[in-house]
Chains A and B, each alone.
Chain A
Amino acid sequence: MTSVITVPPSLDDQTFEQVLEQLAPLSAEQKVLLDARHCRWASPYGLTALLTLAQTRVERAGFAGPETEETASYWQRAGFYEQAEKLFEMHGHVPRPRALGGESNVLLEVTPVAKSDDVHDVVEKIQAKAQSILVNELHLDPMATMRFAMTLSEVCQNIVEHAQTAGFVAVQTYRYRQRLGRRVVVIAVCDAGVGFRKSLESAQGRKLSDRWDDGMALEDALVRGVSRFRDPGRGQGLAGVRRYVGKWDGKLTIRSGTARIALLPSWDDDLALKEGLSPFPGAQVQITIPERVQGR
């Protein structure tokens, strides 16, 4: 029997939890159909997390895409369908790629990341498009393009170094009306790999505290710069990302297992640490960088 999982009309990091809540009682072997027919909008996190979800299923999951032409077409231009067709059993209409140019809001289409060379490709692609959007439209300082590419490189490398499976990255810009009323650029990097807790547990000789869980593993990695590798240079990538996100007054969230940690800017009232979430393997990272208000 196939279980139908309803994808909410607006799919982002917060509402993706509704998808996982529906999935939680089901075993990995259970056949599922992701019903996104009524979905009208998805953030890069939403799109990459859906693909990641497909990777966790033993039996190939079904997928019914948005019925609205505008939404389906956007997802196509964002590169979602190209990857989805490889992972899902597709139901209903699948929009075909159009010959004419890409989507201007998409800085980086949904792109698989599995090895070091993929990170090089991602960085090359983003540099070509990021400059005009980050500096001219989001009014970030001219150095931002370099720092942005460094940030992207480091979060993608987390997949290569720790996930032990392929993941996905996507970068888009849009107006974030809900909390900010400003434009933002959002990086989403999702994988269904080993996750932070298991990765840190694999460190040789590591002693685990009584309270060892997904939340603590995230705190160790993000706040204390702990890595499963023992050499002193490890953990710097995430530390650098954290510093840049702070500089941009941005928001960084990492979900892994049953917990989510957030580095919060002044404009957001999210919780710094959420625990007891529905389980989901791997790590899902989102970075939100707001448009700089000129004069500040």
Chain B
Amino acid sequence: MKYHIDIDDRADERRTVCELYSNLVTRPTGATVRKAIEDALADQAEPNMTVIDFSRVTLLDFSCADEIVGKLLDAYQGAKTRPRTYFLIRGAHGAHLEAIETVLERYDVAVIVQDDTGSMSLIGRLDDGARRVWQLVRERGAVVVQQVEQELGTTMAQCTAALDELSLRRLVVRRADGFVALPHAS
């Protein structure tokens, strides 16, 4: 299922988590927003995909980005239980992305970002091999290990390791018939 979290107060059907501030600045504000997202996600059945939409956020500073994105992804991607919650960031402009990328580097996590044209990119920390595999999954929509091996010219072991990592970090979806890119997973 797909779940949309709008960081703003004008959403209707989507769940809104921040109604108090026009600018996402300071740690207490970020912690409040993250708590609201976590509470909202607690009700969701797995697997689920959560879109965090910044399109109506004017300003996001580093501290707030750390509290919202850094700690949220660190908690989900680093959790022992590995919850099957997939995150997608949407509506983030240049300065938002600078703040988000900075915090992702610190936590050694990565996330998928969708720009205004619908194009997907991956930001944060991920080794080059896994990044190339993610790019291929994104282009093809769905892959099996053998296909990645053939197209990228790497070993089966490397492909399996990269896909496992991407799956564990909730950047692709593992299914019985292979691995699927996020937008195709709903």
Contacts and interface: CB of A to CB of B under 8 A. Distances in A.
A119 B26 contact: yes
B61 A154 contact: yes
Contact of B26 (A124, A157, A239): A157
Contacts of A147: 95, 98
Interface of A: 116, 119-120, 123-124, 127, 143, 146-147, 149-150, 153-154, 157, 160-161, 232-234, 236-237, 239-240
Contact of A237 (B62, B70, B95): B62
Given A150-B62, A233-B70, 6 more contacts: A120-B29, A123-B59, A124-B23, A149-B25, A150-B99, A236-B66
A237 B102 CA distance: 10
A85 to B, nearest CB: 28
Contacts of A149: 23, 25, 59, 61
18 contacts: A116-B26, A116-B27, A119-B25, A123-B23, A124-B22, A124-B23, A127-B58, A146-B59, A147-B98, A153-B25, A161-B27, A233-B107, A236-B62, A236-B63, A236-B66, A237-B61, A237-B63, A240-B102
B89 to A, nearest CB: 17
A226 to B, nearest CB: 13
A277 to B, nearest CB: 29
A116 B28 CA distance: 7
Contacts of A239: 62, 102
Q: Is the interface of A mostly helix, strand, loop or mixed?
A: helix
B102 A153 contact: no
Contacts of B61: 149-150, 153-154, 157, 237, 240
A149 B63 CA distance: 13
A158 B103 CA distance: 18
A233 B74 CA distance: 10
Contacts of B102: 236, 239-240
Contact of B95 (A119, A143, A154, A160): A143
Name, among A116, A150, A160, the residue most crowded by chain B CB atoms within 10 Å (CB to CB): A150
A138 B60 CA distance: 23
Contacts of A233: 66-67, 70-71, 103, 106-107
A234 to B, nearest CB: 8
A150 B103 contact: no
Contacts of B62: 150, 154, 236-237, 239-240
B67 A120 contact: no
Interface in B6-39: 21-23, 25-29
Interface in B116-172: none
Contacts of B70: 233
Most A Cβ at <10 Å: residue of B27, B63, B71, B102? B63
Contacts of A120: 21, 23, 25-26, 29
A66 B98 CA distance: 44
Interface string B89-107: 0000011001100110011
A100 B104 CA distance: 47
Contacts of B71: 233
Interface in B32-78: 58-63, 66-67, 70-71, 74
Q: Which of B25, B28, B70 has the most CB of A within 10 A?
A: B25
B23 A116 contact: no
